[in-house]
Amino acid sequence: MSPIIHTHQLRVRYGETDQMGVVYHTNYLNWFEVGRTELIRQAGLTYRELEERGVLLPVTDAAISYKKPARYDDMVEIRTRVKELTAVRLTFAYEVIRVSDQELLVSGETMHVFTNSELRPIRLAKTEPEVYAWLDAQHKGGE
């Protein structure tokens, strides 16, 4: 089965654009964060609650590919999925789509490592087995 894709829509705000009315390139990384935060929230868990349990997800790598620009007042949809999951690493994949024409604007990935509050790697399946199982189900398509 395919991974479950979580979606979140937002409207491009004026402050996210440059003088040409085009979304400034770094804002897409902020939108990726929105996508993964909302994906985690769908598990009934917030990033804050995860951190309170002593689990952090620092970004170790990010990749982004710009296809077409989003512009001021566009409605966009952030599509987020778990691309890879191991005992100590997690990779999210993203697509930003313009809602009006379903045009792919940006795609990308962020890679994370599971750490404790001292930023030492942990095995999520041992420290938070329910969270790991939920992420695994997202990755495998709910099998």
Catalytic residues: 18
DSSP codes joined into one string, the chain: -PPPPEEEEEEPPGGGB-TTSBBPTTHHHHHHHHHHHHHHHTTT--HHHHHHTT-B--EEEEEEEE-S--BTT-EEEEEEEEEEE-SSEEEEEEEEEETTTTEEEEEEEEEEE-B-TTS-B--HHHH-HHHHHHHHHHHHT--
